[in-house]
Structure 1
Amino acid sequence: MTPTELNASSRGLVTEDLCKIRKVGAALLSPAGNNLVYHVSVADIVQNDYQDLIILLSEDRSTKTVLGRGTAHAWSPDGSELLYETDNGELHIYTVQTATSRFLAQRHDSSFFSNHLALKNCIWSPDGQYIAYLSADLSLAETENNDVRVIDDLLYKSKGGRGRPAYSDHACTHIYLVPAAGGSPALLTPGPFNEHSITWAPDSRHIAFISNRTSRPDDIQQSDVWTVAIQTLEITRLTQHTGMTYQPAWSPDGSHIAFLAVSGYLGTNDSTAEDTHIGMISAGGSHFRYLTKSLDRRIEHIRWHPSGKHLFFIAGDHGDTSIYQVNIDKEEITMVQGGAGCIYEFYLNGSGEDLVFIKADTNRPAEIFATSSQGTVIEQITQENTAWMENKTLQQAGTFRFQSFDNLSVQGWLIPPVGFTETQKYPLILVIHGGPHNMFGHDFDERMHLLSQAGYAVLYINPRGSHGYGQSFSNGTIMNWGGGDYQDLMAGVDFALKENPWLDEERLGVTGQSYGGYMTNWIITQTSRFKAAVTDGGISNLVSFAGTSLYHSLMESEFGGRAYERFDLLWQWSPLRNAGRAGTPTLLLHGETDNEVPFSQAEEMYTALKKQGVDTILVQYTGEGHGWRPDLSPRSKADLNERMIRWFDTYVKAAVS
């Protein structure tokens, strides 16, 4: 692997550029395919916040109209109107012909967290008469008491961060119905349960949804597909299988409902090791079957072809994320749109012959693309990041494979520093992903390019546990955090150093966020080869994590039972257990209101390292949630990255090789 040499005057990504990146998402194509609306998140450094802009493209794609701040939800069936939500939760309908909006209803959010794949969507009925939406019943919400908080359930925490409450209000989210022409909303699903991820039947008489209606929904992570009849309000359970279900989609002819599902008895509201697959049942709830098991990849974002004969979906494979289709009769799977890069989401045009999709690459932020002529022509529709990137040099990542300690094939990527020349030796930073079942690949990651501009080569690897390589590979961390995955990472570092003599093996650093932060903590207790470490939102003690995290079910799912039945195993794989062996200078970065990986995880590791005499600093970000997430405020994100680079400059770049 030999990176292209660049002019020494080239300049890559710097922290000031973080506020220039316009993050594109949620592209909605009108039924006739003539109108396109999408979402752009833009940082506002003055307000220390993000503006979520709704942008409408003209039919000839030449004019952009900003409809406001918020989220676009759905086009009317005839494409003449758009349902959108303002940033204060108001639902509005925009009429394209008159360029006017009218208020429809007020939607409320609960701070209760169901799971990462739960959709709080708002949808238009196929007959155009009604809008169904999800909203919290705040009349039953618990008011915040600053003096006394009484807790009597398990899911009492929320995700927190950036002004969001750190504790759940316990308000249930239900399905409401309002006439599209305006009127009073009607509650369809009263009761003590939460509903999410709704889809209309083609006859506009029923809505399918997901709900956890077990005897202990705050403890048992199991959910099913249900339906509610619009006229009678009769609620019917359709699925009976063990596991979690997500994101149902009713077939165009009304005969089937497709959905994402996993079948594990010990479910989790966080990152499950089990790959999601497309399940399908009849509209009456019978004849359950999986359609995509033969692909052996994690499935996301399902959509029906208008004919009802195929389902389209996204799946990650060896670092690329592509669009596939499955024939529902023969269960044959073919790739529709793919190649190097990561496709986040997509939409079919009215005929189902062409697509609009959002795609990023390692050196290009996401933009919207469209196909024509049955997919033979691809056009980039948006240019949200083109102007500011014209004078930037963002290095392309090169991919490679290596054999780990047990001959398992593992994939990695290497980004050279900006201004690279093979006549110099460069320090190397290993970046580790979260999850543990996330997947690195041909995607855009700001950290990589900030480090590349700072003069570092950047190595990132998908160790066992990552998705995109099949279920067996994804299961690689089960009962074994810090075991085979740690050895994969070290084997990848050794391989990169051997194959690239321009890398300086005496100047190595390591960083990661969330599970990557856990692995960073683990690494410094296992080896002294790294000159510095930066732990971002990382876990240090699996025992205390299991009792304090919003994701306490993750420990049950990963380690096969209740935490109190697995204390010996959880402690065995806790970095804190081996902190006495650590000597690597370590910077710990953590959000104050992080309930996913509580701040106490950083405190435990910091105290142990400090008592061990290790050079260490703990940085708490007031009011911030979990680590490197996109909603980290602009100022905190800039500070976090500057501190990371300064730490590596001090201990890695300045090290004598």
Structure 2
Amino acid sequence: MSKKNITAESLFDLYSVANPNLSPAGDRAVFVRTHMDKEENKYVSNLFHADLASGQVTQWTYGKNRVSSPAWSADGSKIAFLSDRDGKNQLYVLSAAGGEAERVTDFANGVSAFAWSPCGKKVWVNGAVKKDKSFTDKEEEKKDKNPEPVVIEKMKYKADGLGLLPQDLFRQIGIVDLESEEVTQFTEGDHQYGLNTVSPDGKKIVFSVNRAENQDFEFRGGLYLADAESKEEKAIIDQDGYYGGAMFSPDGKKIAFIGADRRLENATHADVYVYDVASGSLTVLTESLDAPVGDLVAADFQQGTETPAAVWAGNDALYFQVSVMGDVRLYYATLEGELYPATPENEHVYGYDVTKDGKTALITASNPVHPGELYAQEISTGERKALTSFNAKFIEEHEIAKPEPIVFKGPKDWDVHGWIMKPAGFEEGKKYPLITEIHGGPHTMYANTFFHEFQVLASKGYGVLFVNPRGSHGYSQEFVDAVRRDYGNGDYQDIMAGVDYAIENNDWIDTERLGVTGGSYGGFMTNWIVGHTDRFKAAVTQRSISNWISFFGVSDIGYYFSEWQHGAVMDDVEGLWDISPLKYAANVNTPLLILHSEKDFRCPIEQAEQLFITLKHMGKETVFVRFPEADHNLSRTGKPNLRIERLDQITGWFEKYL
């Protein structure tokens, strides 16, 4: 039986399995499964339970809403989770013996995070509270809803995915008593508190906060240890950079967390830190590792991938993710200095938990030909057992193209890593077009993970080249930093060297039918490429940057991103213009499709508007497609129908010109 091609609509047939969470005894687990509902045009996720001994998997929640953040009570009798089934995310508690989940909060602005108190009778919560109000105070619905102006006094006044930020909402921490349903607010003031964790004896909590009055030039999130009764607090770390994901060791004597300082601004590798509660000493556990801690993958498939920053195995060892050479692997480290990978190469571990003895890991993992499932892995032997098979039928029925890893030399004789994917149904002796894909960031990475868009292109008869040029994460600190103050130079040369390498080593590539596409930074680079070479016969730029001068003032991150990445502020108009693709519009001879989201606040749509009008005014071949109700993350989390349309626009453009 011939296998089916993967299409844009295949997204509706796939399941994302994520967020595994082990019971305290380590014999059972819960996880979240998400799929795209075509009829409802939305994402639906539900809670599932797995018995590790029998391998039996049971669906525990139903309905057409989202669930997230499942967590067991300390005695294993209950599971709490967040769900938007009543509109905003609220906290629900479900008995581990089964039954109906009970909603335990009715907060005006929902719940963003929570942590069980070890007693199992209380839950610490995080949620937005209006100034001078409480968690549960709700605004009266106005009968006549007239538009009201918004007064802006701060530069950090908007955010992609959120829109204009409310000026009078502050994230606070509180405690919910499950028996009395009483809610007590723990923090106060006009600050944004982030709940991290609760100590094993329930007497202390860790939270993040920056109490500076003007946050416009504050790029730090300190961590604090507070007494649950007296509220007396002590700084764990309070310096430039972002720190979070704190977790107490089982004996409560140490706190592990991850963070990155600002030595190289947003290009700095993240590390694992360990804080000694008694002495106040701080150790960087991953100091010898020249790779970033965490999952830095650029992909388009996985949903609901909440992962712990680190998980303790006993009181003197930790597990955590590391992005390295196109993989995301689980690493093991002891407080004495041992450090090594605990999962194999050539895959993307995008979710995990570990038993208290450190012997068994529960992971969700994907690779380039597998969308991902839930596995139990014995750490010492590497033996792995699949607990779910939601995508097995899809894999069996569809032809999935397998990328081949490549390594080539860029400028400075640096090794650059990437992959090349032959078209589905590849036939020897036949010539095929090649599309080069460029990731965003630039500080992310392509990886050994399932990428639906690449599979769609391969199924349409295209080869796909995707590389990690300088600036990409997963490699050395020098490599990730090398793109800063050098946009359009070394990174451009790395990408073009990848194209040259692919052509030299694959005689099936038709050099007269080359295409290029990318989003965000990849959109900038697509714009840059077509302004500097005519090698590509068609290009698609997505959520792109065309003018760094206007980007400075219109992006939610523009006024500091430009300084971090280019070393340039608005008084360096000439410097910003020199690296703006718009400057080179007259050189563009490649037919260019421009895709952009109406509600993109990261790379606002005016960037696309400037590019389109300029090219059109010059008589260039270009089309502009605007996506309503979509933000910067259209390709990853956008409305299902718009994601399908986006892919159809891309493949339609390449079909027309290649």
Letter matched to residue 264 of structure 1: R
**Is the alpha carbon distance of 1:437 and 1:373 closer, same or farther for their aligned partners in structure 2, counting shifts above 3 Å?**
closer
Would the aligned equivalents of 1:322 and 1:339 in 2 still touch at CA under 8 Å? yes
Distance 1:145 1:323 in 2: 53
Letter matched to residue 36 of structure 1: A
2:305 — aligned with what?
none
2:130 — aligned with what?
138
Equivalences for residues 168-317 of structure 1 within 5 A: 168=166, 170-264=168-262, 267=265, 272-283=266-277, 286-300=280-294, 301-317=308-324
Equivalences for residues 350-429 of structure 1 within 5 A: 350-372=356-378, 374-429=380-435
SS in 1 for 2:445: coil
Would the aligned equivalents of 2:548 and 2:580 in 1 still touch at CA under 8 Å? yes
Consecutive unaligned residues of structure 2, counting only runs of 5 or more, are: 134-138, 295-307
Would the aligned equivalents of 1:298 and 1:468 in 2 still touch at CA under 8 Å? yes
Equivalences for residues 359-508 of structure 1 within 5 A: 359-372=365-378, 374-508=380-514
Letter matched to residue 269 of structure 2: D
**Is the alpha carbon distance of 1:148 and 1:204 closer, same or farther for their aligned partners in structure 2, counting shifts above 3 Å?**
same
Would the aligned equivalents of 1:245 and 1:260 in 2 still touch at CA under 8 Å? yes
**Is the alpha carbon distance of 1:284 and 1:175 closer, same or farther for their aligned partners in structure 2, counting shifts above 3 Å?**
farther
- How far did 1:393 drift? 0.6
SS in 1 for 2:74: coil
Would the aligned equivalents of 1:257 and 1:280 in 2 still touch at CA under 8 Å? yes
- In the alignment, does 2:9 pair up with 1:11? no
- In the alignment, does 2:48 pair up with 1:45? no
2:303 — aligned with what?
none
**More displaced 10-residue stretch of structure 1: 355-364 or 568-577:** 568-577
Aligned residue among 311, 318, 321 for 2:325: 318
Distance 1:363 1:212 in 2: 43
SS in 1 for 2:533: coil
Distance 2:283 2:575 in 1: 36
- How far did 1:328 drift? 1.4
1:494-553, CA deviations, whole angstroms, 9 ceiling, x for partnerless residues?
000000001111100000111111111111111110001111111111121121111223
- How far did 1:120 drift? 4.2
**Is the alpha carbon distance of 1:129 and 1:556 closer, same or farther for their aligned partners in structure 2, counting shifts above 3 Å?**
farther
2:304 — aligned with what?
none
2:115 — aligned with what?
123
**Is the alpha carbon distance of 1:465 and 1:98 closer, same or farther for their aligned partners in structure 2, counting shifts above 3 Å?**
closer
**Is the alpha carbon distance of 1:304 and 1:42 closer, same or farther for their aligned partners in structure 2, counting shifts above 3 Å?**
closer
Distance 1:472 1:30 in 2: 41
Letter matched to residue 283 of structure 1: V
SS in 2 for 1:264: coil
**Is the alpha carbon distance of 1:448 and 1:636 closer, same or farther for their aligned partners in structure 2, counting shifts above 3 Å?**
same
- How far did 1:457 drift? 0.2
Distance 1:11 1:566 in 2: 54
- In the alignment, does 2:581 pair up with 1:575? yes
Distance 2:255 2:508 in 1: 55
- How far did 1:628 drift? 4.1
1:6-31, CA deviations, whole angstroms, 9 ceiling, x for partnerless residues?
x9x54331122111121121111111
- How far did 1:147 drift? 4.2
- How far did 1:282 drift? 2.2
- How far did 1:139 drift? 5.0
Distance 1:132 1:170 in 2: 22
Consecutive unaligned residues of structure 1, counting only runs of 5 or more, are: 1-6, 111-118, 653-657
1:38-86, CA deviations, whole angstroms, 9 ceiling, x for partnerless residues?
1122111222111122222346333422314422431011111100122
Would the aligned equivalents of 1:73 and 1:85 in 2 still touch at CA under 8 Å? yes
SS in 2 for 1:434: coil
Report sequence identity in percent. 30
Letter matched to residue 368 of structure 1: L
Distance 2:97 2:281 in 1: 45
Distance 1:89 1:505 in 2: 51
- How far did 1:453 drift? 0.4
SS in 2 for 1:557: helix
**More displaced 10-residue stretch of structure 1: 212-221 or 489-498:** 212-221
- How far did 1:153 drift? 0.8
1:29 — aligned with what?
22
**More displaced 10-residue stretch of structure 1: 316-325 or 568-577:** 568-577
CA RMSD of the aligned region, Å? 2.2
SS in 1 for 2:570: helix
2:50 — aligned with what?
57
- In the alignment, does 2:76 pair up with 1:79? yes
1:80-105, CA deviations, whole angstroms, 9 ceiling, x for partnerless residues?
11001221322111112242332222
Would the aligned equivalents of 1:262 and 1:274 in 2 still touch at CA under 8 Å? yes
SS in 2 for 1:302: coil
2:136 — aligned with what?
none
Distance 1:99 1:438 in 2: 42
Would the aligned equivalents of 2:552 and 2:570 in 1 still touch at CA under 8 Å? no
**Is the alpha carbon distance of 1:595 and 1:279 closer, same or farther for their aligned partners in structure 2, counting shifts above 3 Å?**
same
Letter matched to residue 394 of structure 2: W
- How far did 1:605 drift? 1.0
- In the alignment, does 2:599 pair up with 1:599? no
SS in 1 for 2:550: helix
2:160 — aligned with what?
159
Distance 1:359 1:170 in 2: 41
- How far did 1:238 drift? 2.5
Distance 1:306 1:537 in 2: 42
1:128-155, CA deviations, whole angstroms, 9 ceiling, x for partnerless residues?
3321111110356999973422111112
- How far did 1:108 drift? 5.6
SS in 2 for 1:478: coil
1:152-171, CA deviations, whole angstroms, 9 ceiling, x for partnerless residues?
111211323xxx65544551
Letter matched to residue 558 of structure 1: Q
- How far did 1:123 drift? 1.1
Distance 2:264 2:492 in 1: 25
- How far did 1:343 drift? 0.5
Distance 1:73 1:547 in 2: 39
**More displaced 10-residue stretch of structure 1: 175-184 or 384-393:** 175-184
- In the alignment, does 2:93 pair up with 1:100? no
